[in-house]
Structure 1
């Protein structure tokens, strides 16, 4: 279903939370869409008792453009090794959706006082050679970042009680502050010729100001995000070993 040449995405977060609560906040569509940046809407569709769960998802790309798709999912809440698994297959018929179809899984692995929450997924882009290039250069890295950022937002919700909406506001505020610092500092670096107007203080100011401005620029660019701000960098983006998709995923092939 997906291209053999594509590079599957892998994201892992360690969350100090109860396994049942983590399961609830990831399996309930109303709570899932609150923390997952990739989706604007997620809703379950009617199904027969012996069928996997079908769902509809949508993402608002622009204020006037929403891309939607459908999928099917199944979960294993009780496994002999104590882990849990959720698998899904999805597709979008929308012509403006770069993703044509794909599949993926979530794994919940108890680990001491927390849970290793990880995902692996892949998809087939549309639009031919242009779509493959756009996916490799821009879209796939963006999807990896958005998944990792969302996992950390979920972690903050579970570990620290920071609501997803508040976490987003924290992130936007920090982003604006960093941008303002960079703007002010870069403007200050361009005012060097005016230092001569300070008379006797000019040599000292000419030495200290650029140094302080460069320090501020470095902090704005490189300083770690605040503890209450979601950050993709806190998640593992490379699998620790060879990873195999769960068998559960194969049971969905006839339903996708």
Structure 2
């Protein structure tokens, strides 16, 4: 589609059937995937690919919706599984006009390599293309990776998507508070008074303490129960090709 397609991969220690269920059933999918607020299957005729409707709440008063078509291969000779989809949003405020993508499930020892590749065409002409390159594409790539790690925590450790989101918000709040306190020097005066005769030493050590606090807040790895996009692979290890299944949806 004329853009650098997005690629995300996570290795998840889980049963393949359970992973398939959590990703293919709309009620479960919408719980862990940050990109969607609602996913609903639409009626279909025998032999036709599955059509679906999706919606994303961008703001409390704004929801962007679209439709798509999907197909899956649950039983493949090599033991892997694949699903593919095409989607489009007619909403005038949706930067994403239409796109396509796939999921692959590759058994790997005691786990599964769960990966996606997808691309889309933005609307709004040159302005939309610039906004997509600078802001939206990096953001949607981060949201996909964050969601994959959230799914991993659910399957591997039983941390529900709702609990994982609360963990992430709590850790984000703590890091933000540390940054604000370090940058404003809030409380340093009281600490100087409490240190008494060691106040001069503390005063000269303040820049170092500030640097340490900022480094920890910005660079410390997330807690093990907090989802993080950085845990996912964002570049394919080898050149990948879209599955043939995706081409069967071209004219659907």
Question: Of residues 163, 168, 172 in structure 2, which corresponds to 1:171?
Answer: 168
1:153 aligns with 2:150: yes
Q: Give yes or no for the alignment of 1:51 onto 2:42.
A: no
Corresponding residue SS for 2:185: helix
Structure 1 runs (4+) greater than 2 angstroms displaced: 189-192, 194-203, 207-210
Which residue number in structure 1 is paired with residue 109 of structure 2? Answer: 112
1:99 aligns with 2:132: no
CA distance in 2, matches of 1:230, 1:139: 20
Deviation at residue 205 of structure 1 after TM alignment: 1.4
- Classify the secondary structure of the residue corresponding to 1:252: coil
The Cα offsets for residues 152-210 of structure 1, whole Å up to 9 and x where unpaired, read as 00000000000000000000000000001111111218968x96998743421122232
Residue aligned with 1:60, SS: strand
Deviations, residues 2-61 of structure 1 (Å, cap 9, x unaligned): 3x2x11000000000000000000000000000000000000000001100000000000
Q: 1:241 to 1:212 in 2, by over 3 A?
A: same
Cα distance, 1:235 vs. partner?
0.1
Q: Partner residue of 2:24?
A: 27
- Who is 2:75 aligned against? 78
Gaps of 5+ in 1: none
The partner residue of 1:188 within 161, 166, 185 is 185
Could you say what the CA RMSD is over the residues aligned between the two structures, in angstroms?
Answer: 1.7
**TM-score where L is the length of structure 2:** 0.96
Partner secondary structure for residue 168 of structure 2? helix
Separation in 2, partners of 1:226, 1:198: 32
Partner of 2:229: 232
Equivalent-residue separation in structure 1 for 2:194 and 2:75 (angstroms): 74
Tell me if the contact between 1:88 and 1:104 (Cα under 8 Å) persists in the aligned partners. yes
- Return 5+ residue gaps in structure 2 as ranges: none
Deviation digits for residues 58-85 of structure 1 (CA, Å, limit 9, x no counterpart): 0000000000000000000000110000
How many residues of Structure 1 are paired with residues of Structure 2 in the alignment?
Answer: 251
Equivalent of 2:200 in 198, 203, 210: 203
Report the counterpart of residue 90 of structure 1 in structure 2.
87
